Structure 1
């Protein structure tokens, strides 16, 4: 109420009827301000004059002290110039006349060639003798200045070397005559005690009531650094004075310790008459204007309040209409949690009428068996804390129908923090929940289908690879035998066809791993340039047979050793190079490799050919699975259309991207960027490949556990020249029995066999108390999970079918070299 009337009075005073009174009031304020301003100027000038007087006295004393002391030193310097060869005793006797009895001097030193040799008083400065000023850049510079100017250099303040304390240094150059030439001999250096100087000058006198600051270190005046007092004093409208030194100057600043006064005591014999005249004129004028305006102000205020009430009523009516017609349910509960009001949407959703709902606890009419008690507890906690809360909960309608709602509760509190009511906005999300459940079921079905497909592909891979092992192996054996040229050509066609079929199987396996999220990227150190050359080497023969040239361009800044998955990088390049060779009939294929300018381990590789090219319609689909430019190309050139899709996925796995540019009939260029890391350790460069030394295998016993007769026959033929004694077993159980009887030196173990598979058979063999040979897995499955299962079971290496003779022999020799047969025998048994 008081604020309301204050506002009304302010509005009356601003009315134009008060203009004469405000003019009189303005004249009064201007007159009063003028008198105050003049009084303030007089006070300020008086205060600054007093400070200036004290500053002048301090300045005069400080100049007198410094000039007097330095004049005494000049006499000493003259004596030293005449007798530079004096010893310590003579120097002390001479300095005694100048220094002793004068507390301004901290000490005097003679430094011929800038090395201190004589000092006084020597009792407290012996450790200074021998001090070489040439080793101190600052002192050496000042000494050089004295030599050039042939005059005193007055510097400081500074911390004293070795002696401790602070002071000002006066350095006089000494010149002596040698062979008729005046040369620089050294300096006479004297230190004036800093704080003794301040004390004698009166700067430290508390009775002055002033705060001092001095700047101009080394006599630089106003442009020098502050070396005494607070630098802020110079920014506080200080009284300034110049202290003239024999060489240079200082600037002295002073302000009152309590700061400049901002108020003063004016003469009330001037103020009182002015104030009385103003009151005699202003008060009656304001009273008259106030009485004439009071009625009009009250009338306007009442009219405004009436309009506000009318507008608020209309606004409430609009809000009520909106809430009542809203599609979401709106419930208002009192501070005890009972329903106060509901809209029509609530009655439609729950079946309870307005009269049935009001006064009820929502839990009594809406909760049921599946209503989550934890959610109800969270709702109560948030309401008690006065915090809005959004959640989902199961409710039940009047007819027992269950439905899901999303509710948003907003507690409202008064100024004291007490709960007034809670508004809840609720939406029926039963259909949404049903869709979520259906989507989850569909996702589970899809995941099971993907798993079934992956399992099917793995099984089919095993079933296809097993006969493929026989076809490729037997074709390798036939290639080694002496055949007529025509028969050798037939064998070559069989071998190449089998290799093509194997490449298709590998693409399908990679696709299966890709869809199952199991196509992983490993990381190890490798030779990048060798990886690129190796990929090109694998397709070079095919290209040369077609009359194509292959060019490789590697930038000079391409790193040699990096860390990454060289197998997958080689697979990407082989896909691109293989396509280039396949779709190019004349010209050349060019592989370029370089790095990003900002990151030397961001690789950019492109493969460009002069082949048939792609049209603008074909380019957007070139990376799609099973995509070929058209059916005619698929029939003519073959392939599954999976290579580029797999390559794109591998590139993305290595934090990169792949793109293509092409023109129909003019060739194609695929380019990809991948990220590798610096090599952890520079890999050992492998030696040039040498023929396999079979002497390591001669006379050893090998156990072959394989259920397929063709594969057993093929392995026997691969190893016939190795001089091994081979024992066969057709399944895991038979393999364990033969192992106990023979105790072989090495084991080849197929993974998939009837009765007992190779993984479990290996576990049982590793559990035996017998010498343990290396065990090498044989499997038609090429998934990484199969390799991990073999190694976890205790196998030493992993060979994927179809087998190659050279790979089989190399793996056997490598395992034997790095495996030491051992057996863990319990201590008690060993004693027996």
Structure 2
């Protein structure tokens, strides 16, 4: 029953919510009926015979109380209605304000939309324009009324590439035809939804980028012209290099041959001057070509293992004659914490250090140059320091020395010469290798160039083991030498090995200190004076088991004098670490004939022998294709002196004919030296034809070496692609030619 009542009540509530007017009429009729019925009942009761005044009064009072309650309820309901109306009024005011703000924002957005300089157009799913701004109307030269509802689009003259962003926006450029002429427009197209009651529309926003595009085209054309000019410059350098190297090959080569003949002292001086001038010109050409390669981004770096100590000490030995000719010292120090083998480009590193150390010698009037190699501050890096005691560089000039064609000042350029390219080339190569180069200098106090380059250690076992380090812990060693760079680095090395080193720069003091204690070794620099050094050696015989004299290649002949017999060994400056270690670890013997440690350094390899080269026991048959008569004469003379049989061909056609004839006769050539630039048939094409003929024949492959003045990378690539086996650059170096021939003979097992 209760469930039935609740269901009826719910149905009535739903009916009331659906028909509020019916509910109001029902309440009004019910209220009126109750009031009328009550009033009528009281009036009727007052007229009846059974009228009871007390009961009537009670009834009236009850009706009055009901009326008061009804009035109170009505009053409360009226107050509640007023409160509700007040809230509704406030809400209406808020809505009105919001509506005004929305209208204002809409007007502002519309004004902003229509006043935009960018082109804005909205299209529906059918491609019809639903909204457009003034900028689009001006560019299209049409009114907004004509555009709305149409499918109008600006005529496209050229379509650029398009891209899609992550949010789905499409970006593309178009060259369109307008009343103002062709214009480039950059469009951004994406779907936008105005409100929930309308479908999404395609919004296209375009910006006039004609000026930017024309600038880009102009820059592109300028870049193309610059690249063309750069290629023309490279071709010019290649041609100029070839044209200069060809006669330079004759100058340097012939002067070298002339020095091997019998000349008067005056003639020898003149010939050496000619050869030195040719070498200087060759160095200038190499710097210009290096700068051209770096500027064109064609510098290639190798990554091969090499022995670091050999590289550094080879550099000091190579520069030693130049330094000693200026009465300077040059020495190297390699920290033993460094790995034996590292991975990098040894050729480029050699070029950098030769440049820095060569400059140091050039700008150092007295003192010397030190090349110090230590671990870098970052893992895997090595620090190379080139220190000198030269003229120094002013602070304002230090920022200029790394620029191309710049030197510290004009006075230095006049006094010392040079192109100003060396440091610029070194700086660019160091940066290309991932390193940095810095400079510290004070005028009159020398300079220090520091190069830090990442050179990781070679993981595989080195081909050569590290020399045995002598254990000199607690052993006293006397070093008698001037206060020079070589002496300071040698003392540093000995102290690292544990020796108690006493460095003395006065012979008299050395004589006085010798009897004071037994010495493990006495090292004496020949620069202290030959007679004084020999006397000190005699004194040291009674106090030191090892007595070593340090000489230069130019003073080595003094070791043949009788006074030198007091020394048990000698070292040639600049000193090699392995030679020092071997000498100090050697068994101490009496004052017999001088001995030098085994090794390349202690042999007199720094001076070229004046004796003619001994001919090999078996010669090679060599075809030389060379169109320049002087160069052909030079090459024939060099090869003949080396004991080989030479046939000359003036161009590629004759070289090919000679090669074919030799093969047909059963006496093929062992080697072909092929000039690249020749008339009628150049060296590259001749090589290709030889390789094509060899492909259809049985037998050994002829070795072909390019012999050319073109030193650019592209020329080398063309030679190797044609099938050549090697590359010899003019001016032809006699040693490199001999090495190439020795390598060929070794490959063919021909005894030299």
Q: Does 1:608 align with 2:387?
A: yes
Q: Would the alpha carbon gap of residues 699 and 576 (structure 1) be closer, same or farther in structure 2, given more than 3 Å must change?
A: closer
For residue 112 of structure 2, give the secondary structure of its aligned residue in structure 1.
helix
**Residues 465-486 of structure 1 deviation map (CA, whole Å, 9 limit, x = unaligned):** 1111111111111222222222
1:374-389 paired onto structure 2 within 5 Å: 387-389=168-170
Distance of 2:74 and 2:386 partners within structure 1: 101
1:537 deviation in Å? 1.7
After TM superposition, the structure 1 stretch with the greater mean CA deviation from structure 2, 586-595 or 639-648, is 586-595
Aligned partner of 1:702 in structure 2 is: 622
Match of 1:331 in 2: 121
Q: Please state whether the residue corresponding to 1:719 is helix, strand or coil.
A: helix
**Residues 156 and 174 of structure 2 are in contact (CA less than 8 Å); yes or no, is this contact kept in structure 1?**
no
Q: Deviations over 1:35-85 (max 9, x none)?
A: xxxxxxxxxxxxxxxxxxxxxxxxxxxxxxxxxxxxxxxxxxxxxxxxxxx
Change (3 A) 1:473 1:755: same
Deviation at 1:683? 5.5
Please give the root-mean-square deviation of Cα atoms over the aligned residues, in Å: 3.0
Native 8 Å contact 2:393 2:408 kept in 1:
yes
- 1:773 to 1:391, Cα distance in 2 relative to 1, 3 A: closer
Q: Is residue 369–residue 387 contact of structure 2 (8 Å, CA) maintained in 1? A: yes
Mapped to 2, the partners of 1:531 and 1:585 lie a distance apart of 26
After the TM superposition, which residues 314-393 of structure 1 pair with which residues of structure 2 at under 5 Å, given as runs? Answer: 314-363=104-153, 366-371=154-159, 387-393=168-174
Query: Could you say if the C-alpha distance between residues 293 and 817 of structure 1 is closer, same or farther in structure 2, counting changes exceeding 3 Å?
Result: same
* Among 742, 751, 756, the residue aligned to 2:681: 756
Instruction: Verify the 8 A CA contact 1:339 1:360 in the aligned structure 2.
Output: yes
**Contact persistence 1:773–1:819 (CA under 8 A):** no
Alignment of 1:65-76 (within 5 A): none
Alignment partner of 1:801 out of 712, 723, 730: 730
Structure 2 distance, partners of 1:528, 1:579, is 22
Q: Are positions 1:715 and 2:603 aligned together?
A: no
Q: How does 1:405-554 map to 2 (within 5 A)?
A: 405-413=185-193, 419-554=199-334
Contiguous gaps of at least 5 residues in structure 2 = 1-72, 466-598, 663-667
Distance 1:436 1:286, change over 3 A: farther
| Gap change, CA 1:700 and 1:590, over 3 Å in 2 | closer
Deviations 1:706-755 (A, max 9, x none): 11111111112212233322111011110011112222122111111111
CA distance in 1: counterparts of 2:426 and 2:182, whole angstroms: 52
1:630 aligned residue: 409
Q: Are the equivalent residues in 2 in contact too, given 1:608–1:668 (CA < 8 A)?
A: yes
Does residue 1:788 correspond to 2:717, yes or no? yes
Superimposed CA distance per residue, residues 449-480 of structure 1 (whole angstroms, 9 cap, x where no aligned partner): 00000010011001111111111111111222
CA distance in 2, matches of 1:453, 1:652: 24
Q: Aligned in 2, Cα 1:603/1:811: closer, same or farther, shift over 3 Å?
A: same
TM-score (norm 2): 0.66
CA pair 819-458 structure 1, distance change in 2 beyond 3 A: farther
Equivalent pair of 2:369/2:386 in contact (CA under 8 Å): yes
Cα separation, partners in 2 of 1:284 and 1:488, compared to 1, 3 Å: farther
Task: Give the direction of change, closer, same or farther, for the CA distance of 1:636–1:711 in structure 2 (3 Å limit).
Answer: same
- Unmatched segments (≥5 aa) in structure 1: 1-282, 822-832
SS of the residue corresponding to residue 652 of structure 1 reads helix
**For the Cα contact (< 8 Å) 2:376–2:452, is it kept in 1?**
no
Distance in 2, Cα, partners of 1:820 & 1:763: 27
1:167-221 alpha-carbon deviations (Å, 9 max, x no partner): xxxxxxxxxxxxxxxxxxxxxxxxxxxxxxxxxxxxxxxxxxxxxxxxxxxxxxx
Aligned-partner Cα distance in 2 for 1:588–1:356? 89
Match for residue 810 of structure 1 among 725, 736, 739? 739
Aligned partners of 1:371 and 1:545: how far apart in 2?
71
Deviations 1:689-709 (A, max 9, x none): 999996656343211111111
- Is the CA contact 1:697–1:724 (under 8 Å) kept in the aligned structure 2? no
Q: For residues 620 and 167 of structure 2, what CA distance do their matches in structure 1 show?
A: 83
How far apart in 2 are the matches of 1:423 and 1:748? 72
Report the TM-score when normalising by structure 1.
0.60
1:776 to 682, 705, 722: 705
Match of 1:648 in 2: 427
Tell whether the 8 Å contact from 1:350 to 1:396 is kept in structure 2 after alignment: no
Asked whether the equivalents of residues 707 and 731 of structure 1 are also in contact (C-alpha less than 8 Å), the reply is: yes
Report the Cα offset of residue 819 of structure 1. Answer: 4.8
1:347 aligned counterpart, secondary structure: helix
- Residue among 724, 727, 740 paired with 2:647: 727
- Three-state SS of the structure 1 residue aligned to 2:294 is helix
Q: Deviations over 1:628-680 (max 9, x none)?
A: 12222112111111111110111011111111122222222111111123325
Q: Secondary structure at the match of 2:669?
A: coil
- 1:421–1:805 distance in 2 versus 1, CA, 3 Å: closer
Deviates more, 1:509-518 or 1:804-813: 804-813
